[in-house]
A and B are shown apart, each in its own frame.
Chain A
């Protein structure tokens, strides 16, 4: 019965439209194919599974300064831009079915024992032009400001601490977030008066304003489960999480054009990670099956990632819904830099519309201590 239910979940069709409009993503996760539910040990824990807080290795960890930039990787499609026309309408022909993305975010925060709090400051701009018979722009502009908090608690007899070399631990975690999202999520004609008026603006700020934007507020809630098994230098983690339970829906004031910002859909994710950590070398293998609660092409659910490293540098690679990612982290103690390229599916079907992106992130002055 349980097997049949799981099979039904895994083969159900079709997918949701658009990538889920997350607030913040871990750059390391993006470069591991976003297979991060059971890895999740960086500053972005609360965005993947609050239950991971139960294996926080220190009494206190501070992530005071971090910044992430992401954008369209035009290097992946340079031929498209040969002899790029200056006239806007002709240029739009070149940009047909080419996802344009730009994002910037920071998520300062701390972990104290099994509790964590993280600020959310994130701006994201996504535009996709499709359909020559009536050029239509998918517009998702988001500026998020908010905070997320979470707490985890070990349950059952097993306990692990940072000195534990053997044992297991099961934990439950919960998270709550409050977000103000300003922006717009819409499908609008390229030749509509709204867009044409925007294209005639000289300043980027005015262009975005004239596309229309509204402000919404929302509370969201997460709950997760995690089981960790440790044997010597090896660790196996299983994670199951419900993010944005019942959906994080932004309340927007009524407006004549019925403008709205993108709501965050609820998502149930299952993850597994196995790793070994020797003093001079470590590796992690991870896999996720995402969105168990949604109807979706099976291939679109799959995430897989790998990280291998020596002290000071780690290399990552992954596969996200059939698309590749790769990059590196250079850790110099007080400064850590993450950079790489990743691809992600933004359509509702498996391998429908690929968005190729780069990501670069810098964190400064992360520190931990034990009381």
Chain B
């Protein structure tokens, strides 16, 4: 009875998570990651997923309280992408910055293998499954802001193509229906040629980065369609985004590319877009949604 028996896995997890939460509170992100990644067999522990993801978000210097307090009210559903591209965490000065990658890693951890809110709720119950969903939602909005800011080459007002880079569009367009959409954009939209996409989005990493943008949007849609936030005075404003996004879905469905808005896993997306016809449809979706809706 006197022998110090060691901790069973459940106790070890509780200790590790407790220690990591204190480290994160003190801004020691890497130490927290080290503690959490040393824990074994945590595949069924939602708190471990949430804490580890937040440790990577910590590396991205994210303060969620500040974001909710200052930024959610700044999202304007009538200019959705423009407003998201200039939120307080959106500013990006390099492709795949440390902060962008940190948040992307956080989302990969939270998404697990299938990036489905229904699966999260089924696996962990509504309480923790929806908690993870809100974390994904907020991180995805922040990450989408960075994505739009960098690849959209926005200025301080969120105007596309007016930033310090040279591109006026997100993608270079080669698929005829997409080219037709670009050709029909109004003069107020900076994107009026088909070969002026962001170089970082059209190079060797094109599929990966197109999928990053696409799945940021689809995960926002997935969470908002599956979690009811309407009763929360703090997050109810995000419900307004759903209405706007549903119009994008209608547009995408009409063009025959709505199925892409159901792809929430980046790896599944990359597999899909390796097929040229699906890549063409992704081009069309970018033209219909990002180019058309972001001026």
Interface residues of A in 230-254 (CB under 8 A from B): 242
B131 to chain A: closest residue by CB: A192
Tell me whether A290 is interfacial, beta carbon within 8 Å.
Answer: no
Tell me whether A206 is interfacial, beta carbon within 8 Å.
Answer: no
How far apart are A295's CB and chain B's nearest CB, in angstroms? Answer: 6
Interface residues of B in 124-180 (CB under 8 A from A): 124-128, 130-131, 134-135, 138
Tell me whether A167 is interfacial, beta carbon within 8 Å.
Answer: no
B127→A257 contact, CB < 8 A:
yes
Secondary structure dominating the interface of B: helix
A246 to chain B: closest residue by CB: B1
B66→A93 contact, CB < 8 A:
yes
Tell me whether A279 is interfacial, beta carbon within 8 Å.
Answer: no
Q: Which A residues touch B276, using CB under 8 A?
A: none
Tell me whether A168 is interfacial, beta carbon within 8 Å.
Answer: no
A242→B1 contact, CB < 8 A:
yes
B4→A12 contact, CB < 8 A:
yes
Given A191-B134, A191-B138, A200-B232, does the pair A293, B1 have CB atoms closer than 8 Å?
Answer: yes
How far apart are B155's CB and chain A's nearest CB, in angstroms? Answer: 29
Given A9-B2, A90-B69, does the pair A257, B134 have CB atoms closer than 8 Å?
Answer: no
Q: Which B residues touch A352, using CB under 8 A?
A: 18-19, 22
Tell me whether B55 is interfacial, beta carbon within 8 Å.
Answer: yes
A293→B3 contact, CB < 8 A:
yes
Tell me whether B211 is interfacial, beta carbon within 8 Å.
Answer: no
Given A8-B4, A16-B7, A17-B14, does the pair A349, B19 have CB atoms closer than 8 Å?
Answer: yes
Tell me whether A78 is interfacial, beta carbon within 8 Å.
Answer: no
A294 to chain B: closest residue by CB: B4
Provide the A132-157 mask, 1 if CB < 8 A to any CB of B, else 0. 11111010000000000000000000
Tell me whether B271 is interfacial, beta carbon within 8 Å.
Answer: no
Interface residues of B in 11-42 (CB under 8 A from A): 11, 14-15, 17-19, 21-22, 24-25, 29
Tell me whether B235 is interfacial, beta carbon within 8 Å.
Answer: yes
B: which residues have CB within 8 A of A?
1-7, 11, 14-15, 17-19, 21-22, 24-25, 29, 47, 50-51, 53-55, 57-58, 60, 62-66, 68-69, 124-128, 130-131, 134-135, 138, 227-229, 231-235
A: which residues have CB within 8 A of B?
5-6, 8-9, 12, 14-18, 87-90, 92-93, 96-97, 130-136, 138, 186-194, 196-197, 199-200, 212, 242, 256-259, 268, 292-295, 347-349, 352-353
29 A-B pairs in the complex with CB atoms less than 8 angstroms apart: A6-B2, A17-B14, A88-B234, A89-B234, A93-B65, A93-B66, A130-B21, A130-B22, A131-B25, A131-B54, A132-B24, A132-B25, A132-B64, A133-B55, A133-B58, A134-B64, A135-B65, A136-B54, A187-B47, A188-B131, A193-B227, A200-B233, A212-B127, A258-B124, A293-B2, A293-B4, A295-B6, A348-B14, A352-B22
